[in-house]
Amino acid sequence: MENSLEGSGERKLQCSDVSKCFQLLESILDGNNVPDSQEILKSKLAKCQPCFEHFHLEQAIKEVLRNKCTKHEVPSELVANIRQKIEEIK
């Protein structure tokens, strides 16, 4: 996602309820079904600096994890072995 809200001039520097906000932001980021998630996200990121920073950090970590930790090549014989064993128990 683009970091479209540059500049922190308009944002408050203290979050009024850090646990509730961060939990909600993480739920949205993690793809859970949160009602009105886009509106919530937009308004929190626009109005609150700690929320803004937390969201973008979590998002960046999530992205590098996905890009760099999922590229294990499956050993070529594994699929063949599984199919052979299945034939045996059929």
Partner 1 sequence: MSEVQRKKYTEQEKNKIFDGEFMPHIDSMYNFGYRLTFDEDDAKDLVQDTYLKAYRFINSFEQGTNAKAWLFRILKNSFINDYRKKSKQPSKVDYQEVETYYNSDDVDYSMTSDLRVDSVKDMLGDEISNALNSLAVDFRTVIILCDLEGFTYEEMAKILDIPIGTVRSRLHRARNLLKEKLRSYAQNMGYNTDEEG
Contact footprint for Zn ion (CB under 5 A): 15, 21, 48, 51
We find the least distance from the C-beta atom of residue 45 to Zn ion, in angstroms, to be 9
Q: Which segment (6-14, 38-46, 73-81) binds partner 1 by CB under 8 A?
A: 73-81
Among 5, 27, 37, 47, binds partner 1 (CB under 8 A): 27
* Burial of 10 from C-beta contacts in 10 A (0-12 / 13-18 / 19+): exposed
Would you count residue 82 as binding partner 1 (CB under 8 A)? Answer: yes
Query: Nearest to residue 62, comparing CAs of 31, 84, 23?
Result: 31
Q: Cβ(22)–Cβ(63) under 8 Å? A: no
